[in-house]
Amino acid sequence: MNKNSSNVMAMAPSTSNKRETVCIFGTGDFGRALGHKLIQSGYPIVFGSRSTQAPSLIPRDAEVLSHAEAAQKATVIIIAIQRQHYNFLTQLAETLHGKVLVDISNNLKMNQYPESNAENLAQLVPGAKVVKAFNTVSAWALQSGTLDASRQVFVCGDNMQAKQMVMDIVRSLGLTPVDQGSLLAAREIENYPLQLFPMWKFPIFLSLGLTAFFFFYCLTYNVIYPYVHENQDFSFYIAITIANQICPTLALILLASVYLPGVLAAIIQLYRGTKYRRFPDWLDKWMLCRKQLGLIALAFASLHVLYTLVTPIRSFIKWRTSSQTISEALNNKTEPLNNTNAWLGDSYLALGILGFFLFVLLGITSLPSVSNSVNWREFRFVQSKLGYLSLILCTAHTLVYGGKWFLYPSSYRWYLPHAYMLSLIIPCIVLVVKFVLIFPCLDKPLTRIRQGWERNPQYSE
Binder of ligand NAP out of 7, 75, 95, 105 (CB under 6 A): 105
CB-based closest residue to ligand NAP: 28
Q: Based on CB atoms, which residue is closest to ligand NAP, 57 or 326?
A: 57
Q: Using CA of residue 157, residue 162, residue 167, residue 169, what is the dihedral sign?
A: negative
Q: For residue 355, which amino acid is it?
A: G
75 contributes a contact to ligand NAP by CB under 6 A: no
Quick check: 85 binds ligand NAP (CB under 6 A)? Answer: yes
Taking the least distance from each CB to ligand NAP, the nearer of 139 and 206 is: 139
Q: Which is nearer to ligand NAP, 80 or 449 (CB)?
A: 80
Q: How many residues bind ligand NAP (CB under 6 A)?
A: 19
Contacts of 221 (CB under 8 A, 6+ apart): 413, 416, 418, 419
The piece of 119-127, 134-142, 144-152, 307-315 that touches ligand NAP (CB under 6 A) is 134-142
Which window, 81-89, 94-102, 324-332, 452-460, contacts ligand NAP (CB under 6 A)? Answer: 81-89
Between 28 and 226, CB nearer to ligand NAP: 28
Residue selected from 38, 74, 80, 391 as contacting ligand NAP according to rule CB under 6 A = 80
What distance in Å separates the CA atoms of residue 243 and residue 251, rounded to the nearest whole number? 12
Beta bridge partner(s), residue 152: 176
81 scored as a contact of ligand NAP (CB under 6 A): yes
Are 57 and 32 in contact by the 8 Å Cβ rule? The answer is yes
Cα distance between residue 363 and residue 444, in whole Å: 31
Site for ligand NAP (CB under 6 A): which residue of 21, 41, 72, 82? 82
Binding positions for ligand NAP, 8-67, rule CB under 6 A: 26-31, 49-50
| 3-class SS letters over 432-454 | HHHHHHHCHHHHHHHHHHHCCCC
Nearer to ligand NAP by C-beta: 104 or 430?
104
Q: Give the angle subtended at the CA of 149 by the CAs of 191 and 133, to the nearest 5°.
A: 45
Other Cβ atoms closer than 10 A to 138: 19
User: Would the CA dihedral through 354, 355, 357, 362 be positive or negative?
Assistant: positive
Task: Give the separation between CA 106 and CA 194, rounded to whole angstroms.
Answer: 9
In the chain, the amino acid numbered 94 is E
Distance separating alpha carbons of residues 214 and 206, to the nearest angstrom: 12
The secondary element (H helix, E strand) that includes residue 129 is strand 129-132
User: What is the spatial distance between Cα 211 and Cα 217, in angstroms, rounded to a whole number?
Assistant: 10
**Can you tell me which of 66, 88, 282, 342 binds ligand NAP, judged by CB under 6 A?**
88
Residue 122 beta carbon to ligand NAP: minimum distance, rounded to whole angstroms: 15
Distance, CA of 363 to CA of 379 (rounded, Å): 12
- For 306, residues 6+ apart whose C-beta sits below 8 A from its C-beta are none
- Check residue 95 for interaction with ligand NAP (CB under 6 A): no
- CB of 108: closest distance to ligand NAP in angstroms? 9
Smaller CB separation from ligand NAP, 65 or 428 = 65
Q: Which stretch binds ligand NAP (CB under 6 A): 35-43, 135-143, 214-222, 358-366?
A: 135-143
Q: By CB under 6 A, which span of 99-107, 281-289, 384-392, 414-422 interacts with ligand NAP?
A: 99-107
Judged by the rule CB under 6 A, the positions of this chain that interact with ligand NAP are: 26-31, 49-50, 80-82, 85, 88, 104-106, 135, 138-139
